[in-house]
Each structure stands twice: as C-alpha cells, then as structure tokens.
Structure 1
Amino acid sequence: MAQARREFAPDISVVVPVYDEAGAAPALAREIAAAFAGRAFEIVFVDDASRDGTRAALKALAGEIPQLRVLGHRKNSGQSRAVRSGILAARAPVIVTLDGDGQNDPADGPGLVDALNAGPPDLALVGGERVKRQDSQAKKLASRFGNGVRKRLLRDTANDTGCGLKAFRREAFLRLPYFDHIHRYLPALMLREGYQVAFRPVNHRHRQSGRSKYTNLGRLAASLSDLFGVMWLQSRARNPGGVDEV
C-alpha cells in the first residue's frame, strides 16, 4: 500500500492545516474525499503539533480514505508554515487549500480547480470569496476593515484574502518569498511575480467544534507588520515581462 501511494501521481493535492481540531478534522476529511470523488487527488493534512487527538483521529482514517496523508510538525509553527509543509510534500501540480475548522465548504473546491484549469496559462490562483459569512459581527467588521485597507494599499484586487479556500499552481507558489502569514497575501505576491489571479464566491459555514486560534487584536498586530513587508517587496520587484531563449 505504501509503495502504491508513492507511485500515485494525482492531479490535485488538497492541503489542510490543522491545530487542535480533533472534533472537526475526520468529518472534514470525509467531505473532501466525497467532493473530489472521480478525480485524481490526494488529501494532505498537516497537524501543527496539536495538543489533542487530532493526529490520531486522522491516522485512524487511513483504511477508509486511501488518498489521505497525514504530516505532523514536531513543534507548533503556525498556519502558514503548515500550509507550506503540505505544499512541499504535495505530489500534484494544482493545490487546493482550505481551513481545518470545517467552515470552508469542500464542495466549492472542484469549482475553483475547474476555473483555474480553464483560465489562461498565466492564471496562477483562483481564490474563494466568502458569502454570507457565519462569523460574529465583530469578526466580520474587523475583516471588512482589514481587507479594505490591504486591497487599497497592495492593489491585489482581492476582497477576502482571509478565505482559506484557494486553488493555485504549486510551481507558482514555490516561486514566492516565504514568511509567516503568507497565506493572506498570496494574490498580491502572485501579481508581483507576473501571474494573474481571479476570484469566485464560495460558501461559508458555522464552526461546529473547537475555537478560533485568532483574536481581532492579535490579527491586527501581525497584519500591520506583514502589510508593510509586502509593500516593501512590491517596491523592490522587477518584472522582465517574460523570458525568451534565443
């Protein structure tokens, strides 16, 4: 079985970072498998050193979901690092990411992949934009404010970079500079590299278990530092407009 998994070459790798999500992760894995049934896919869960039974709960699904792989960080390193670990380990050229708390709907993933594959060659990312968000009013207001400031300063055309549901090309992601919280700046960084990005509305659901790992104040403090850093990266970009072998 292990040898067969190594030889399998999927078209899509679904990468899911999780931290203390034992209550949500198994059901989410089953939903992802159902959503991508009929396609060549793998599911890569990255457990960011959870303190609960997340890792064991996922490993118990190995016989039920043969496409499932479970990676584990030795120490907690944050969502962006978990996403990157999953992408580095992924076997497919197309990556789908979604949050591990179950609020992103896996049923929207195939549509993002289809939009990516139907686009022009330089389309590198199709991001989800959450409609009818199932969050507290305070969280929605903070998100709206943060998205507005970021969009104005970075000109990344994105209304909702906080949505974890995205489809993008693995090769394009690996060209980007890595830093913590990079997952919120993928559209801006893809544009900086000369790629195109697009967006589609996606569903958003209530959290069924666990609790959010972020606070509004904590997110704001990190976002200001990250925002200035990405603005600096944009200011130092030089794009040759393509490379020709002569």
Structure 2
Amino acid sequence: MDDCSTDNSLSIIKKMADDFDEVRFVAFAENRGQSAAFCAGFDAVQSDIVVTMDADLQNDPADIPDMLAAFGDGCEMVIGWRAKRKDTFIKRISSKIANAIRDGIMDDGVHDTGCSLKVMRSDLLRKLPRFKNMHRYFPILMKMQGVLIREVKVNHRERATGVSKYGTLDRAMAGIYDLIGVKWLINRHIEFTVKEKK
C-alpha cells in the first residue's frame, strides 16, 4: 500500500509485482493518511490473515514467523511489542505520556498499540468502524468484537528513511479528540446473542 510516499518504495513494489505473481499493490492518487492506507489494503487483501508493518525499516520482518506462531488457538490478533525502542528521546517521552492517558481512559490491555507490526484476521478488520487515526486503536476496536489478543516482543530499529510526524502539538490535540470519540464508541457498543432464527 502506497500513500503517495516521497521515497522510492512504490517503484520497488511495482518491480516486485512484475517479478512475482503473489505481489500486488494499491497506490493512492493523493496522501490520505495511515488509516486510509490500512483500510485500502484490508479491502484489497485476498488472504484470511493480514500482516501489517511500516516501510520505514524500523520493523524487522524476521519477527513475523514468531508472530504467526502465536496466532491461532483462539487468538485472532498478535501485536508487536517494541520492548527496546530505538526512537528519539522526544518520541519515546511523547509515546509514554500518550499511552498513560489512553490507559487511564480506556485500558486496551496491551503494552504497545503504536507498533505497526501486527497479525490480524482480515474479515474482522473489514468490520471495524473507519475513521482518521483508527490504526492507533486497532486493539480496542478488535476487542469490541471479542477478539483474543497476544503480544510478541519484537525488534525495533532506528529510522532509516523518512521523517516521523508524531509527537507534535497538533497531533497530540487530534489524539485527545480521537480518544474521546473512541471512548464514546466503546460506551455505545451493541452486543447481542441470537437465540434462534429462520
């Protein structure tokens, strides 16, 4: 999935798609943000399982086999846990503050909601409510569907390319706005059990 990246990732993906029939891609006409990119990818995927990760080389693909091994046996989502983060000091502090606020308002029970390395069931992902920054709330949104989540400690590397857009004041304000909205969604969530139907 390419969200109009300014690096060379799209041309690399196109070359891979030419060389391997299994590789397909979706490229946006304009930048629409990470959540929109995820949703477009979820709609296009043809497998039962989705593995997500960023293209900035901070995630390590070598962690995927361990995450797939943790998937199944009732578990429908596996989240990467960057136990030893290689981010800047400011980004680590911003993340700690944001996580503390989020945990105080709604505890999703995971250590690292921000890690893009995740394994999830594609049919459940397509049922999630869609909104800007929804990717920050995948765990709680999946839990609303009764999903069992496991965490796997993963490697984390220093950013090799691109510039982080997180940690600025405008994003912090947007995060608070989103948090209020997701809390409302959780409180208004409908659950029911069908006794019988014809």
TM-score over 0.5 for the pair: yes
String of CA shifts for 1:42-78, please: whole Å, max 9, x gaps.
Answer: xxxx111234543223212334444321211111100
Partners of 2:153 and 2:6 in 1: CA distance: 34
Match of 2:118 in 1: 166
Q: Which runs of 5+ in 2 are unaligned?
A: none
Partners of 1:218 and 1:100 in 2: CA distance: 24
Which fold has the larger relative contact order, with Cα–Cα distance below 8 Å and residues 6 or more apart in sequence?
2
1:144 offset after TM fit, Å? 1.1
Match of 1:133 in 2: 85
Match of 1:154 in 2: 106
214 and 65 in structure 1: CA distance in 2 versus 1, 3 angstrom threshold: farther
52 and 134 in structure 1: CA distance in 2 versus 1, 3 angstrom threshold: closer
Partners of 2:139 and 2:5 in 1: CA distance: 29
1:138 offset after TM fit, Å? 1.0
Does residue 185 of the first structure (1) align with residue 147 of the second (2)? no
SS at match of 1:70: coil
TM-score (norm 2): 0.91
Q: Is the 8 A contact 1:194 1:239 kept in 2?
A: no
Does residue 230 of the first structure (1) align with residue 185 of the second (2)? no
212 and 65 in structure 1: CA distance in 2 versus 1, 3 angstrom threshold: farther
The AA in structure 1 aligned to 2:185 is: L
Aligned length, in residue pairs? 197
Does residue 77 of the first structure (1) align with residue 32 of the second (2)? yes
TM-score (norm 1): 0.74
1:191 offset after TM fit, Å? 1.4
Partners of 1:171 and 1:49 in 2: CA distance: 26
Does residue 97 of the first structure (1) align with residue 52 of the second (2)? yes
More strand by share: 1
Does residue 113 of the first structure (1) align with residue 45 of the second (2)? no
SS at match of 1:139: helix
